[in-house]
Amino acid sequence: MILSLLAGGILGIAAGAASAFYAAGIIGSGASFGDQIDVNSWKSDWTIGSAAANPWTRARVARHGLLALTKDEAVYFTTATDSDGARLKDDCTYEVSGGEMPGLWWSVTLYDGESYLPRNKDNALSFDKTKAAASGAPDAWSFVIAADGPETGNWVSSKAGGAFDLTLRIYKPDLALIEDPEGVLPAPTVKRLACKGAAS
């Protein structure tokens, strides 16, 4: 009886700790800050950064989005899949397109599986409102994600990104977005163009 108690207790502690590490994203799958909000696979959670966050969200944000602001100041949407639901990876090229975002300023940044900027020297880390405006089409912008950049055009480098994800930040989001994210967010489209080794 005592042996059973002891064995169960030790196994329980080990499994409980391991499951907490998994839930926080310290071991296992990469970033996912919550699925409270899902707009065409761009996921967010309005409790990010706040005392209202549940323990799983708080731990995951600490691991994959430390120092995140609350929704009144900034909202964060993350996607790890293209528009067909396939995992984003650095041996494929993608076109990301969208329109005007409901907030003061926005950006789309690529992060690797550890939630860091991919270790490359391409100096092509993000696409933002400034670049959309400079492209002459702030309401209908697009950029390419590829490991090797195009000679012209807007580009975010995925070199050394592995299985990556994209974070859309919207600073000073419109109240309408907070109240109805699914109805208001013009979620950017992530279209897979080609993959290495695949027939084009």
Partner 1 sequence: MKAFLTGLAAFVATFLIAHFVVLNALPGKIMSTVRGKMMDTGIAPHSWTMSARITPETQSVVRPSPDLAYAICLIDLSDGPVEITVPSWPEYGSLSIFEADTNNVYAGSLDARAEGTPGTRRVVVAMKGQDISGAAGAETVTVKKPEALALVRRLAPTQASYEAAAALIPASSCAPL
Interface positions with partner 1 (CB under 8 A): 1, 3-17, 19-21, 23-24, 26, 31, 49-51, 53, 55-56, 58-59, 61-70, 72-74, 104-105, 107, 109, 111, 114-121, 123, 125-126, 128, 130, 167, 169, 171-172
Q: Compute the least distance from the CB of residue 136 to partner 1, in Å.
A: 18
Query: To the nearest whole angstrom, how small is the minimum distance from the Cβ of residue 97 to partner 1?
Result: 19
CB of 152 to partner 1, least distance (A): 20
Angle at 44 between CA 177 and CA 192, to 5 degrees: 100
Query: In the bound complex, what is the minimum distance in angstroms from residue 59's beta carbon to partner 1?
Result: 5
Using the minimum distance from each CB to partner 1, give the nearer residue, 173 or 181. Answer: 173
Q: Which is nearer to partner 1, 31 or 147 (CB)?
A: 31
What does the DSSP assignment read for the chain?
-HHHHHHHHHHHHHHHHHHHHHHTTSSSS-----SSEEETTEEE-TTTTSTTS-HHHHHHHHHHSTTPPPTTTEEEEEE-B-TTSPBP-TTEEEEEEE---SEEEEEEEEE-TTSS--S-S----EEEHHHHHHTT-TTSEEEEEESS--SSS-EEE-TT--S-EEEEEEEEE-HHHHH-HHHH--PPEEEEEEETTS--
User: Looking at beta carbons only, is 106 or 192 nearer to partner 1?
Assistant: 106
Q: With the C-alpha atoms ordered 170, 185, 115, 91, is the resulting torsion angle positive or negative?
A: negative
Q: Considering beta carbons, is residue 130 or 194 the nearer one to partner 1?
A: 130
Q: Which is nearer to partner 1, 63 or 89 (CB)?
A: 63
* Residue 74 Cβ vs partner 1, minimum distance, rounded to whole Å: 8
Count Cβ atoms below 10 Å from residue 27 Cβ, excluding itself: 11
Nearer to partner 1, 1 or 198 (CB): 1
Question: Minimal distance in Å, beta carbon 2 to partner 1?
Answer: 9
